Every structure is written in C-alpha cells, then in structure tokens.
Structure 1
Amino acid sequence: MSEFEPVLLTLPSLAPSLAVEILPFGLTFHRVFVQADGRTHDIVIGPEDPRGHITQKYTNTIIGRYANRIPVGAHQIERNGIKAEVVAKLNEGSRVSLHGGPVGFDSLPWTLLTPESPPTLFTEAELAHLPPLSAATSHGIFRLVSPDGDQGYPGTLTTEVLIALVPPAEQERKYVKPGDSAAGAEWDLGSILYVYRATVDKGVTPVNLTQHWGFNLEASLKGENTLSVKNHNITIKADRIVARDTDSLNTGNYIQVSDATEHLHEGQKIGDKYPKLGYDDYYMFAPRTVETPKRFPSSDFKPQLDLLGDLLNPSGTPRGIRPEPVVELSSDKSGLKLVFETNQDGAMFYSNAWANPAIGARKKIHGGSGIKDHGDGYVPGTAAFLEFHDTLAAFLDPANKDGNDTLLTSDEVYHNYVRCDVRFQQPAH
C-alpha cells in the first residue's frame, strides 16, 4: 500500500453519516466526511492531493515524538531514578525544536496492521471489542517504530494507534436529511476515536503525542463568509493558559483565564474577543471528576486489561469511567457540533492565524482549486486546530519530577486517547 493511498473508514450501512480517510503518511486525517441536512461536509481543512501533506505540514497529522516546542540542545532527563539525555534538534527560528524535530512522526509512513502483522500494544480483551482486522471497515491500527537516537531522542519507541468510528446509539442510527430533525433536536452522527499506545525498549524518553487536526464546520457550504471560523461557537473547560516567551517556549508560568477574558471560552463565538494575532495558546483543563491513566505499569498489560471497551460505547450510553467532555466546537450555520473528551491535561487552540493563501492548496469542497500554490489557499482564521496533549515541555519543569512529566520508562505503557462525538442540529433557514 502506498503511504498516500487513503484508508477509508466508514460506519455500518445503517448509519452512513460519518466517514474518514486516513493516510499512512503522517497518520493523517485527510478527510472527515459528515452527511447531514442533505449535504456532504468535509470538516477538516487541507490539501486536495494527499501528497500535498509533504509540504502543507502539520495539517491533521500526528505529531511526535514530542508535541509543540522545546528548547534546542541537550537536556538531562530522569524519571524514578532512570536517567538519559535528549538532544533536541533545531527546526524553527534559532532556539526551537518544533513537533519532534526536523523529521517528526508527521513526515513518516505508518504501517497499517493486518492479521499477519497484528498489534502488540492492545490486549486480547480490548481487541475483542473490534471486528477482526481481516474484516475491519470502521477501524484501523497503525504502527511506527522510531529508532534509538531518532531526532535526538533516546530509546527505540514503538507506537501503535487505533483509529475507530463509533456508531451512534440504536435510537439515533439514521441518516439525517432535510426535515428529519424537529426544531431544537440534536442528532448523534457517531464518534471518532483515536488511542495512542507506546513503549520504549530501554531507559527513559519524552513522549507527548497529539493529532494536529484543523476543523472548519462551514467551509463545505461554500457560501459568503463560510471560510472563517470566527462565527463558530467554542467551549474550552480550562482555568489557565501557559505563559510563553517570544519564541513560544513555556516560561513555566500560567495565566488565569479569569484575568485574560479573551481566553474564557464558554460557548461564545470565536470572533467575539479575537486577539489581533489570533489564537495560538495552550489551555490547561480545570480538574475533572474522573481521571483516566495516561500510562500504566507494563506489568499490568495482561490479556484481560481493558481500557478500550468504555471508549467504544455510543454517545448517550452510560459513560462508565470516562472523563467528562472538555471542548465543544459548533456552527449555527451548518448545524454541526463536535464534542471532545480526552485523558490529556490540555489542548492547544490555534486559529490558523499564520496561514498564507499564496502557498499550499485548498480543497475543492471548500471552494478552492485544489492546486498547490495557486493563490487560493486558506487564509488566516480558517480553522480551529484543537491539539490535545500534555503540558508544554513538562519534562523540563522540576515541579513535575516523577509525576506528570511526559516521560516514559521501559517498564511503562503510554496511553493517550481523544474521542470526538459528532452531532447535528437542524439550523434555522
């Protein structure tokens, strides 16, 4: 299989409202199709041609080994008495190693696993919830092995990622077309789930993975002002943002959102208090009533371990041990809503403020030509990038020692998940 040949995931025929195209290159969400109100939407921005992701970087790709920015140079790391050194490589400005270094996980081909090459980081109990890989149409499991020393990171890191579509509850399982929903009713169209698992073969290494996906819930309408996300409603259940320096490196300090009200997102329009340079900030979620482990001892990785079953339950069913949602993004114009939950500590919210329409390509379904560097690419403010991961450069803060330090040792398993529930409410016409 070519790394640029999309892997199509679909829901069963009774619920054809949600589908995704995954590229093995960079484990990229190339398209996310939603059918509602008689329309087909692609709710993520990006190039038309799958190969466009080579240059149109960080658009719906995985990010690794380490999300966001850390200072270049050598860093001594230690977790539970295990020591190693990271030598972060420059790929932004003069001080910054961005998104894992010059050749991060976003630029590498991932392997789609098969019965002949089965997953090793998901247990028998977890895999029992899924159709066999030989018959899978609604999920895929992908693997990448990053060798010792890759981009300056110690240890061989093996990562496996499950991407699955979760059907809506039986009572919601229907195609949403004009006239289907009563005024005010909200329909569950299904959910997108990704689960990252990783292990390192020796010592200790930093790991902080995310999906760098950018959403626009109106662009497929191709009408006036539908490219901007400033009319989208957003809720982020956060109490702080990270204070960063001029190179966007973590200063170790936080700003309370109550003291910076442009960051108080409680369902208002993104454009209501839009900063001059747009949004590009890391939000720390307020404490939640349920916490899900982000790593666990490898001794617990036994056939009966099951951290997956609850995540695959349809929306509307009992939540079990899952934490409550932390982010909502919706459009009154399209009627679409995304509801996110995760076990990560926070999320970057980036409003595509540095987009340049002269370079890259805009999808045809979003009104572009699809031609690279044709001058009709995405303009600033055309996406809400929501990147769920742990705190920026957490392993460099002594306060996190042996705690939430984003370090992984050889006797642990990394466990990171994000679930996105897709919903629809008939818009007023």
Structure 2
Amino acid sequence: MTLPQKVLSLHETMTMEAAFDGRPANLFTLTNTSGMTATFMDIGATWLSCTVPVDGEAREVLLGCSTMADHQKQSAYLGATVGRYANRIANGQFTIDGVTTQVTTNQAGNTLHGGPDGFDKRRWTLDHHSDAKLVFSLLSEDGDQGFPGTLQAKVTFELTSDNTVAISYHADCDKPCPVNFTNHAYFNLAGEAAGDDCLQHELLIKADRFVPTSEVGIPTGELKSVEQTGFDYRKGKTIGRDLLKDPEQELTKGYDHAFILALGVTDGIADFAKVISPDQKVSMTVQTTKPAVQLYTGNFLAGTKGTSGEYGIHQGFCLETEYLPDSPNHPEWPGDSILRPDQIYAHYTGYRFIF
C-alpha cells in the first residue's frame, strides 16, 4: 500500500538529525490490507505512529514527536518500550533471596521505568523486518542501572489482519532480577492533530481493585476496591466523568494508577479494556497476559512538543500493561515480577482497532 503522507514525512523528519550515538534512527512501518499503518524506530524500540483509515483519511491515533531533537527532549516516554522495570520501585531497593540491591533512582528518590538510562534511551538491534512484523533485541549487561544479571531482551511488533498491534516480550537473565516491560503509548482516538484532550473518550476496564499511591506514585500497600470510587470503569464511562473525584487522584493530578485485572481476562485473548472515540468512529480493545494495567491520563503532558504542536494536559491516555508498581517489594501481590535464570519472561499485549 502507499503510505499516508504523514507517515512518509515522519520517515524524513525523524532521521534528519542524529540520535544520541551520532547516527540517525532507523524507522520501520508495518501495513495491513485494511489500510492501517504502525511505525516504529530502533531508538527505544519506540512506537512512533499508528494510523487508521477514517472517512478516507489516515487518522493518527498516537501522540509522538516528528524530530529526534523533540523526541530526546520529551520526558513522557512517548511510545517507548520501557524496562528493565516499568513503573516504580520504592527507594530503588528490593531484596531477593535475602540479598538487598540498590538500583539507580531517577524520580523523587525512587526508580521509574528502569532508571535514568532505561531501555527507552537505547538503540535496539533489528533482528527481523517484514511488511507486517518487526523484531528488536537488546543486551543489558550485569549491573546496568544497578540491576543484577545479564539480560537478553526481545520485543516483537506485529500488525495483524484483524487490525491488532500485537506486542510480544521475551527475556532471560542469568541472575534473579525484577523484569517488567511495557509500551508507553499515548492514545487519542479522536486524532493526534485534533487538539482535543482524551476526557470524552468512553473507557471500560474489567478490574475490581486498584492501587492507591503516594503523590510520587509509590503504593501505600493497600489494594482497594473500585466500588463507589472514580476508579470504577467496569460498566464504562467517559474518562473525564469522575476525574479528580477521589483523594487518590488529587495526589497525582488525575488517573495515574494500576488496576488489578479481573480473573479470566489475562490470557492474552479476552478483552480487558475497550475505548471508544468521542465521534464513535474509532474504538480500541486491549488484551494482555499481565495481571495489571496502569491508566495514565497525561496529567503532566502540558508543554511536551509533539508532531502537531505543543500538547496540553490530558491530551492522551496510556494503558500500560504491567506487574503492579513496586511489586518486587510486595511478593504477595498478583504475578511474579522476579525473573530467575531457569525461567523465560514471555508476555503479550495487543491493541486492536475497530474503524
């Protein structure tokens, strides 16, 4: 298929300047017979663009940057593959088999998304590329950001015939280590260039409990029922309907919380979430094998330079599939976030678009 002009332009503008290592990024666009496109680059194994055909036009439904300078300035992790450990680790410390490890901290004395030089800031190696599939790999040495063990990571992106951007993660490590990959895509199904916030999107999440946190995102230790709170998305509602309704939201300026997914929707097949655009022309369902999802409503996006201009607060939302934040310090919580040498880390998340 002929790529939309916006995607062709992105291949040009993103490669005009060198990345951190003195070389330009490499961009790859996947296509399918429905007219969808999904574009990725090797810097951060980043999901840069996702277009769906709406009324004869290619609608961009991801927030992102169009130049390397803007991409390297932003601190929102736009579309990045995040690791070694997505979300937060309290004080950058965890204990495995009686051994306490201190990793590098980068946010309020805690470790966020793998530390200051996380996987989002690396150039990944291209292992495979076809029209519909892309495989990147990364070697993380023992002691990288303080994490133990040499880790081999792989992420596969596939654009399927049923309009799913399918993301598969695979890793092994030669020492016990917390591992938790996610993709940090920001969606706006009304269109990246529309200039609208995400608050009128209709959202459903099949989750009975969420994780209250401090103002810097560290869990309090409680797993709280969504019943009679603004976190109850089980029947679907607009994202903005109960925004800032709860004291937990006031601390974080909106939704930036993990939801524990209901049993039966973590098999990678069942839909655990559904989102519908305000104009009803695009919807998205999400599938995963992870036990939780972080809903983030772009509470600190304001001032981020994106493709169509400067983004405002709440301009996009994230559904980051993951282990719960600070899980290495809460082994009693759902899922086992510690990868051991005799194990393989293998997880899947799919974002399926209906248009």
Q: TM-score range by the shorter chain?
A: 0.7 to 0.9
Q: Which of residues 168, 178, 195 in structure 2 aligns to 1:195?
A: 168
Cα separation, 2, equivalents of 1:250 and 1:157: 27
Alignment of 1:116-265 (within 5 A): 133=129, 136-168=130-162, 190-201=163-174, 203-220=175-192, 222=194, 226-265=195-234
Asked which structure has the greater CA Rg, the reply is 1
Asked if 1:89 corresponds to 2:104, the answer is yes
1:337 aligned residue: 283
Asked if 1:270 corresponds to 2:239, the answer is yes
The one-letter code of the counterpart of 2:342 is: D
Q: Deviation of residue 362 (structure 1)?
A: 2.4
* CA gap 1:262/1:74 in 2 versus in 1, 3 angstroms: closer
Asked if 1:70 corresponds to 2:70, the answer is no
- Conserved in 2, the CA contact under 8 Å of 1:76 and 1:85? yes
Asked if 1:27 corresponds to 2:84, the answer is no
The one-letter code of the counterpart of 1:88 is: V
1:361 aligned residue: 305
* CA gap 1:279/1:74 in 2 versus in 1, 3 angstroms: closer
Q: What is the SS of the residue equivalent to 1:214? A: coil
Deviations along 1:329-388, one digit per CA (max 9) or x if unpaired, are: 11141510010000001111111011222xx31223xxx2xxxxxxxx111111011101
RMSD of Structure 2 on Structure 1 (CA): 2.0
Q: Deviation of residue 262 (structure 1)?
A: 4.2
Q: Deviation of residue 68 (structure 1)?
A: 0.8
Q: Deviation of residue 86 (structure 1)?
A: 2.7
Q: Percent same amino acid at aligned positions?
A: 27
* CA gap 1:208/1:220 in 2 versus in 1, 3 angstroms: closer
The one-letter code of the counterpart of 1:89 is: T
Deviations along 1:204-253, one digit per CA (max 9) or x if unpaired, are: 1110110011000113463xxx5111111000111111021232112221
Q: TM-score, normalised by structure 2?
A: 0.86
Q: What is the SS of the residue equivalent to 1:75? A: strand
Q: What is the SS of the residue equivalent to 2:96? A: strand
Q: TM-score, normalised by structure 1?
A: 0.72
The one-letter code of the counterpart of 1:330 is: I
Q: What is the SS of the residue equivalent to 1:273? A: coil
Q: Deviation of residue 53 (structure 1)?
A: 2.0
The one-letter code of the counterpart of 1:141 is: V
* CA gap 1:50/1:164 in 2 versus in 1, 3 angstroms: farther
Q: What is the SS of the residue equivalent to 1:248? A: coil
The one-letter code of the counterpart of 2:177 is: T
1:382 aligned residue: 315
Cα separation, 1, equivalents of 2:139 and 2:99: 19
Q: What is the SS of the residue equivalent to 2:134? A: strand
- Conserved in 1, the CA contact under 8 Å of 2:204 and 2:236? yes
- Conserved in 1, the CA contact under 8 Å of 2:203 and 2:233? no
Gaps of 5+ in 1: 115-132, 169-189, 293-321, 369-376, 425-429
Q: Deviation of residue 87 (structure 1)?
A: 1.5
Q: How many residues align?
A: 326
The one-letter code of the counterpart of 1:242 is: V
2:118 aligned residue: 104
- Conserved in 2, the CA contact under 8 Å of 1:340 and 1:419? yes
Asked if 1:352 corresponds to 2:321, the answer is no
Q: What is the SS of the residue equivalent to 2:344? A: strand
